[in-house]
Amino acid sequence: MAAVRRGQRQGEPGTLSREQELELIDVLRGVYPDELGLDEELWTRQNLHALIQRRFEAPMDAGAVGAYLRAWGLGPREPRERACGLCVGAVERWVRSAYPAITRAAQEHLAEVYWIGRVRLRGTMPAADVISAVSSRGRVRFMITTPSVDPPLPRDFVLRLSGEEQRTVHLIVDGSWPRNEWPRRLPRRIALHPLPSCGRAVAA
């Protein structure tokens, strides 16, 4: 789970020890950055960097923080990488047939397109899930939760993607949540689109 640059070991300058990384994950569970006096409604590389520097006084640059995010399963992924092996063909057809209409609608409304998914972090106790939204421009926004039985897609996470400015957003949701676990009665400025999926899967 730990993210360490090539040639470095955990605990060396520019990295966190395993204990510090697990402590960081616990600090992030169910907490949004504005609750800790940081900018942004959701976690990003920038405000995570600020939190690490404040909590651990670690001389870590932003690039090293990005390595932690990648180790946690965050970052841009191709649509086919978000599909299970049985759904790759359906996702590729969807990208050709349905996705262009979503991008056109987003352009017309000056909206952002986000791809939403969930991964399970390894080596944490209790278990931890990372819910992420990756924009079509590659910007990552995320939160960490402690999974329950059949956890739904958090409504607050979806609303915070729109922000205080109430931006229009188009959200493409992968197979991490079936439709009956999506939040209901969302504002019209938030449009959810299902990525083809034959079932529900959380990467372990």
What pLDDT does 63 receive?
Answer: 84
Tell whether 57 and 88 lie within a shared domain. no
Q: Is the pTM of this model over 0.85?
A: yes
Over residues 45-63, the mean pLDDT reads 90
- Is-contact 80 91, C-beta < 8 A? yes
Mean pLDDT, all residues of the chain: 88
Structure tokens at 31: 């907490």
Residue 195's closest CA among 120, 90, 71, 97? 90
Tell whether 89 and 177 lie within a shared domain. yes
Tell whether 85 and 119 lie within a shared domain. yes
- Is-contact 137 165, C-beta < 8 A? no
How far apart CA 87 and CA 110 sit, in angstroms, is 31
Tell whether 29 and 102 lie within a shared domain. no
107 assigned to some structural domain: yes
Structure tokens at 154: 């958090």
What pLDDT does 200 receive?
Answer: 46
Cα dihedral 153/129/68/165 (nearest 10)? 20
Tell whether 41 and 85 lie within a shared domain. no
Nearest-10 crossing angle of helices 88-97, 99-108 = 40
How far apart CA 204 and CA 201 sit, in angstroms, is 9
Tell whether 162 and 184 lie within a shared domain. yes
What pLDDT does 1 receive?
Answer: 55
Tell whether 175 and 142 lie within a shared domain. yes
How far apart CA 95 and CA 103 sit, in angstroms, is 11
* Per-residue model confidence as pLDDT tens digits over 131-153: 999 999 889 999 999 988 778 99
With b for 16 or more beta-carbon neighbours within 10 A and e for fewer, the 148-184 pattern comes to eeebebeeebbbbbbeeeeebbbbbbbbbbeeeebbe
How far apart CA 138 and CA 170 sit, in angstroms, is 15
DSSP state of 26: H
Domain region containing 159: 79-194
Tell whether 101 and 36 lie within a shared domain. no
Tell whether 52 and 107 lie within a shared domain. no
* Per-residue model confidence as pLDDT tens digits over 92-133: 999 999 999 999 999 999 999 999 999 999 899 999 999 999
- Of the three residues 71, 93, 113, the one that is the final residue of a domain is 71
Does the pLDDT value for residue 8 go beyond 70?
A: no
Does the pLDDT value for residue 77 go beyond 90?
A: no
Tell whether 31 and 127 lie within a shared domain. no
Give percent of the chain above pLDDT 90.
66
What pLDDT does 21 receive?
Answer: 95
Tell whether 146 and 50 lie within a shared domain. no
Does the pLDDT value for residue 204 go beyond 50?
A: no
The region of weakest confidence among 13-17, 59-63, 179-183, 184-188 is: 13-17
Tell whether 48 and 108 lie within a shared domain. no
Number of domain units in the chain: 2
